[in-house]
Structure 1
Amino acid sequence: MSEHSGHTAHNARVWNYWLGGKDHYAVDQQVGDQVTSMYPSIGQVARADREFLGRAVRHLAGEAGIRQFLDIGTGLPTAENTHEVAQRIAPDARVVYVDNDPIVLAHARALLTSSPEGATSYIDADAHDPDAILRSAADILDFERPVAVMLLGILNFILDTEEATAIVRRLVDAVPSGSYLVLTHPTLELGGEGNTEAMAFWNANAKPPITARTGAEIAAFFDGLDLIPPGLVSCSRWRADATPGHESLQVAQFGGVARKP
């Protein structure tokens, strides 16, 4: 990777640092360490979000029988990516990843390889443009059959709530009955009240800027859908019995999975 892009911390690389990865620059580590000093549980949030992804995909590929996943705002590949979790259960699962960071793009193309029976594809597109995402994803996914639309830690980069809601609506409208919406989002609730200062520091020193939302605002993204138990909760507590030892951990990141009736 060239050094010229290493002057400003970037979300995908800082998140990679928090998860213990190696795909980041010194500036990402510096910002990551500063955020951690202001908000010590951020590393727990990053890990809890990743573990939620695993539990949600295992449920969808297993019990729910979903074979198509549209994972928007993928971030840098780490262990237990969506296609790895899904194809372990259902080798014929088809997964489309979406991101618009060239570093993520380069890593994803090298690392995100599919099982022979399934398919894994990567779209260079922005979450602000759902129509472009849907057009490109149609090359791999059959929108006549159920799709799990995954928006993990991405709507917090859509600063305008009306725009974020419209993006979710457009994506959900494009998939048939029996599809799912999987979502995580940071909040200043659930013990995250002290995060305000850390978010302000982030927005001054890293890209893209971020916003927190309330549980009520996040719940509204699921309007018209049926949240499956346990509903909208701290992502670390969503079906936490599947991650032993995590039953009592609460992080300031809501998570939920809902079915389109």
Structure 2
Amino acid sequence: MTTGTPKPQVDTSRPHPARVYDYLLGGKDNYQVDRVVGEQLPELGKDSARQNRAFMHRAVGWLAANGVDQFLDIGTGIPTEPNLHQVVQRTVPRARVVYTDNDPIVLRHAEALLVGTAEGATDYIEADVRDPAKILDHARKLLDFDRPIALSLIALMHFIPDEDDPYGLAGTLLEALPSGSYLALSHGTFDFSPELKESITGTYGKGGIALRFRARDEVARFFDGLDLVEPGLVTAHRWYRDTPEPPVSVDTVYGGVARVR
């Protein structure tokens, strides 16, 4: 684990998506400001968090089973077992994982919890997806950019508003990856529950958190120029490969995995 910098102070006066997500998953690494946001969300919000987590487990598990042994996970969130590296290192013990998040509390937990196998390695950088150059520079210290890398953007890009160019940010990250790499992405949507748009975006907005759920065509743009893996871009609980079909749940999240040409 590489840290190398002093532990930054955690701002407990403002909610943070990573800590709200932790609360929605039933975690305890959050503050009152985060719980206020989570408690005001409908039950659908908790279901969305669970869908995201389960999709991540299936997607990275499939990637590891198909030979991918390097992962760049941006928007990591507070570690909740099993973590991404635990999922992939069960199949590929030598796998290397670089985690990235912009909340200092994630770094504190990462130092203690994100410990890889003896054969593999994990690393963590505190950075924002809006600074892809910083992320890539750090990731190159552990990952070999001459071999395939899986880029994981799970439940992240719906916190990036249009004015911050989410497609450009994702494109910059993907352009740095060699052919044979993959993108695993999940993204919130109101396509199936438009009546909740005002309440959910308003709840996050009151906490100072921008939320931009997108329609299917908008989410599909993140995969432009890539080759989608079957079953394509679908609602998260419908994405599964070589595993039992997950329980049916309310459709709130799109998920997909695609190969870099």
Describe how 1:1-261 pairs up with structure 2 within 5 A: 5-36=11-42, 40-62=43-65, 64-160=66-162, 163-189=165-191, 191-239=192-240, 242=243, 245-246=246-247, 248-261=248-261
Structure 2: stretches of 5+ with no match in the other structure: 1-7
1:122-141 Cα deviation digits (max 9, x unpaired) = 01111001111100100000
SS in 2 for 1:97: strand
Which whole-Å deviations, capped at 9, do the CAs of 1:170-221 have from their partners, x for residues lacking one? Answer: 11111111100010111111x2312212233234322431111110011011
Distance in 2 between the 1:86 and 1:4 partners?
30
- One-letter code aligned to 1:204: G
One-letter amino acid of the structure 2 residue matched with residue 254 of structure 1? Y
Q: Residues 18, 243 of structure 1: CA spacing in aligned structure 2 closer, same or farther, 3 A cutoff? A: farther
Q: TM-score normalised to the size of structure 2?
A: 0.92
Shift of 1:241: 7.2
Coordinate RMSD, CA, aligned: 1.9
Q: Tell whether the 8 Å contact from 1:199 to 1:211 is kept in structure 2 after alignment.
A: no
Distance 1:242 1:161, change over 3 A: farther
Whether the 8 Å contact between 1:165 and 1:221 is mirrored in structure 2 is yes
Q: Is contact 2:185–2:257 with CA below 8 Å preserved after alignment?
A: yes
CA, structure 1 residues 149+25, in 2 after alignment: closer, same or farther (shift >3 Å)? same
Distance in 1 between residues matched to 2:158 and 2:14, nearest whole Å: 19
Contact 1:237 1:249 in 2 (8 A): no
With normalisation by structure 1, the TM-score equals 0.92
Give the distance between the partners of 1:235 and 1:61, measured in 2 at CA: 19
> Percent identity among equivalent residues?
46
Give ranges in structure 1 of 5+ residues lacking alignment.
none
Deviation (angstroms), 1:244: 5.0
Sort the Cα spacing of 1:30 and 1:241 in 2 relative to 1 into closer, same or farther, 3 A: farther
Count how many residue pairs are aligned between Structure 1 and Structure 2.
254
* Matched residue SS, 2:41: helix
SS at match of 1:5: coil
Question: For the Cα contact (< 8 Å) 2:238–2:245, is it kept in 1?
Answer: no
Moved more, 90-99 or 104-113: 104-113
How far apart are residue 20 of structure 1 and its match?
0.8
Q: How many Å apart are 1:90 and its aligned residue?
A: 0.4
Conserved? CA contact 1:234–1:250, under 8 Å:
no
Pair 1:25–1:3, CA change in 2 (3 A): farther
Preserved contact between residue 202 and residue 209 of structure 1 (Cα < 8 Å): no
Q: CA deviation at 1:25?
A: 1.4
